[in-house]
Amino acid sequence: MLGERVAIVGAGYTPLRPISPEVSFREMIFEAAVKAYADAGIRPHDVSTFVSVAEDYNDGTAITDEYVPDQLGAVLKPVQTVSGDGITGLASLVMQLETGQLDLAVIEGHSKASNVVRPAHIQAFALDPIYARPLAFHPNYVAGLEMRAFLAATGNTEAQAALVAALNRASALRNPLAAYPARMTADDVLTSRPEAEPLKRGDIAATADGAIVLVLARESQLARYKLNGRPVFINGIGWGQHTPNIEERDLHRAIYAEQSGRMAYKMAGITNPASQIDFAEVDDTFSYKQLQHLEALGLAETGQAGRLLEQGVFSPGGALPVNVSGGHLGCGYTHEMAGLRSVLEVVLQLRGTAGERQLPGVRVGLAQSWRGIPTTSGAVAVLGRE
């Protein structure tokens, strides 16, 4: 259990777009920050501490955390950059607030993926330099190896993975934030260009640009700041990591998601996730990842995620809606910000402000992140209306 609960009390964001040539990433963060502070009803000088999630190579700047404060209103304030996915950064901020020494805290995530000229080179540079990198393969091979191992071990199928990609892009049609809404069928995905078979072009989330800023407060401080809007509580948060050595991995399993789910569930008092979680935003950077993550999180029995998907259980009207935002496949994959985008959707849903795609009567939502290939790192947040 947490000592004192922490709530998300403000959210600001830019729409996601495939390219954003007229604005710099710092200007996008400024826009998201101004909106977040207005949403929370605070001024940045009320904030005690800031966290940014960013990766030097994706930003194209060494020691990129030096570039964080200006556009956040964080000049001369404590700022920490977490070189990890958004929910891992969120966990770090929650822990800072748990000390009881700080009142208001802000987390920032951004993506200017369209400015990364050779993203595959960055992922390849993350591979083991002695045993793996010298082979100079396109890094998507790691996902190809995983996908085949996952399908073979669980009995989920390529067609079910393709259906994930089609359904998520269709869900994105109801999300004005999404960069890649599309009407397509599983067949369109199955017949798309092969990349790292069984992985095809349609199974892969394309990248998008954008910025998200969230404002957090301790429960005891909520009255003090006359915070606007409905607070959304972080009732559980967890993170996990398996191994950097690809040969050491159980290629079919997402052990980081199993670990982070367990940790977050324990904190939130969740003993039966499939019945206690009302809806989930899980990482779908690659279509099969959504099925793998649902099983790792206990939201589907091993080998059942694909079948439940076909039965409509994870559809907006189903028993456990998943990626009603469109997921990364529909919204666009946004590097370190991706986990925060999932959290944002859960926040909007729990506040009842998700517009056309609003799920009725939801009280508990889960957001899950993965740091992308070639990593085995991820995190989970369980959020609630109370």
Partner 1 sequence: MLDKIHQSRQARQVTGEIPIHHRYTLGVAGERFFKALRDRQELLASPCPQCRDRLLPPKLYCERCFVETTEPWEAVEGAGFVRSFTVLHRSLEEEALPRPEVVAMISWPGVRGGLIHRLQEVEPHRVTLGMAVSPVWAPQRVGAMSDILYFRPAQAD
- 249-to-114, 145, 242, 254, 376 alpha-carbon distances in Å: 31, 11, 8, 9, 9
Near partner 1 by CB under 8 A: residue from 39, 85, 146, 284? 146
> Under the criterion CB under 8 A, does residue 155 sit at the interface with partner 1?
no
Of 279, 267, 379, 264, residue with least CA distance to 319: 279
Least Å from the CB of residue 329 to partner 1:
19
Residue 294 neighbours by CB under 8 Å, 6+ apart? 280, 282, 300, 305, 308, 314, 322
Near partner 1 by CB under 8 A: residue from 1, 63, 76, 136? 136
> Under the criterion CB under 8 A, does residue 132 sit at the interface with partner 1?
yes
> Under the criterion CB under 8 A, does residue 157 sit at the interface with partner 1?
no
Residue 35 or 148 having the CB closest to partner 1: 148
> Under the criterion CB under 8 A, does residue 191 sit at the interface with partner 1?
no
Residue 228 or 245 having the CB closest to partner 1: 245
> Under the criterion CB under 8 A, does residue 198 sit at the interface with partner 1?
yes
> Under the criterion CB under 8 A, does residue 118 sit at the interface with partner 1?
yes
Region of residue 229 (left: phi > 0; alpha: psi -120 to 50; beta: else) = left
Span near partner 1 by CB under 8 A; candidates 18-26, 45-53, 74-82, 279-287: 18-26
> Under the criterion CB under 8 A, does residue 206 sit at the interface with partner 1?
no
> Under the criterion CB under 8 A, does residue 247 sit at the interface with partner 1?
yes
| Dihedral of the alpha carbons of 336, 163, 143, 293, in degrees to the nearest 10 | 60
Residue 119 or 318 having the CB closest to partner 1: 119
Span near partner 1 by CB under 8 A; candidates 3-11, 182-190, 242-250, 263-271: 242-250
> Under the criterion CB under 8 A, does residue 114 sit at the interface with partner 1?
yes
21 burial level (CB within 10 Å; 0-12, 13-18, 19+): exposed
Near partner 1 by CB under 8 A: residue from 100, 129, 269, 355? 129
Count CB neighbours of 170 within 10 A: 18
> Under the criterion CB under 8 A, does residue 152 sit at the interface with partner 1?
yes
> Under the criterion CB under 8 A, does residue 138 sit at the interface with partner 1?
yes
- Please give the DSSP secondary-structure letter assigned to residue 172: G
Give the DSSP per-residue string, 3-64: SS-EEEEEEEEPPPBS--TTS-HHHHHHHHHHHHHHHHT--GGG--EEEEE--HHHHTSTTG
By DSSP bridging, strand 232-241 and strand 79-82 are unpaired
Near partner 1 by CB under 8 A: residue from 16, 68, 124, 366? 124
- Please say whether the beta carbons of 109 and 337 come within 8 A: yes
Q: For binding to partner 1 (CB under 8 A), which residues are involved?
A: 19, 21-22, 60, 114-115, 117-118, 120-121, 124-125, 129-132, 134-141, 144-149, 152, 193-199, 243, 245-248, 251
